[in-house]
Chains A and B, each alone.
Chain A
Amino acid sequence: MSRGLEPTDRVAADPSGWVERHGDYLYRFAAAAVRHRQAAEDLVQETLLAAWRGRTGFVGEASERTWLTAILKRKVVDWLRRRVRERLRTAAQEQDGFVTALFTRRGEWKAPPGRWGRGDPVEPDEREEFWTVLHDCLGKLPPRLHDAFVLRYLDEAAGEEVCRELGLTPSNLWVMLHRARLRMWWCLSRNWFGEEPQSGETVP
């Protein structure tokens, strides 16, 4: 998956070359997750400093970029955990207008899910376009939902373990993930997979 450039068996002698080769990539990775320019830049800096100090740990099985991205990912996860812990301390709102609008009062679909006529993207151009759409959809998530959802996919520790670490009740986290996932499903249904739910009902 990685677009690492050179599978290398040695670390570049000059760490400032990393900034040239990987700085923008690492920045985009961090910025997409934390959605905060300054924080993303700081995370890239911490990553490169930590990588340089720990360069003997680089065994050359991965590309330089894959290795750096793995270090950055751990830092992003820590950063997101802190923010999710702060943000989710206050309980979720009782109702989420987006979710309630999908169902009738009796709990049936107002508009059943439409067919996803389009297959998963295969061609490079199409994949590129798909990732753009997906990241746009992520970008539209409200902040609390975004953080929880992104953390869910970055963090290897899934589910209840995450809750323990964050000091949350599982239900609070489930609620956030559920709301985020429904928005992502809706957004990708509309903007990529092709068909909106089957009737003309509108959802806010």
Chain B
Amino acid sequence: MICRTAVELICRSADAPLSAGARVGLGVHTLFCSPCRRFQRQVRRLDAACGAAAREAPSGRETLSAAARERIVAALRDL
């Protein structure tokens, strides 16, 4: 297995389980390839961080526009 393929499988395994064959192939590759092993660890951390980020709004100064605020308040009153 070449690194490019291993990297594809590592990324995919963050989204869905790999087939048995792919899992074994990747396991053998990462056993001997330390860059891909490192990449695998980093992708796991990335995955955890993205999952956590999706649960919260980013902090920042962006706000609802005054017009939208008025519109929403009016719509709520009309209910």
Contacts and interface: CB of A to CB of B under 8 A. Distances in A.
A116 interface: yes
Interface string B48-79: 11111111111110111100110111011101
A44 B4 contact: no
B49 A120 contact: yes
A28 B62 CA distance: 6
Contacts of B15: 152, 158-159, 174, 177
Contacts of B22: none
B3 A103 contact: yes
A37 B63 CA distance: 10
Contact of B68 (A45, A135, A160, A181): A45
Contacts of A138: 53
A103 B56 contact: no
A134 to B, nearest CB: 5
Nearest to A179: B11
Interface residues of A, number: 61
Contact of A108 (B3, B14, B45, B50): B3
Interface in A46-75: 48-49, 52-53, 69
A64 B60 CA distance: 21
Interface in B1-56: 2-5, 7-8, 11-12, 14-16, 34-36, 38-39, 41-43, 45-46, 48-56
13 contacts: A23-B64, A25-B57, A29-B56, A41-B72, A44-B68, A45-B68, A45-B71, A108-B2, A112-B34, A116-B41, A135-B60, A153-B50, A178-B11
Interface of A: 1-3, 15-16, 18-19, 23-29, 31-32, 37, 41, 44-45, 48-49, 52-53, 69, 102-103, 106-109, 112-113, 115-116, 120, 128, 130-132, 134-135, 138, 149-150, 152-154, 158-160, 174, 177-178, 181-182, 184-185, 188-189, 193
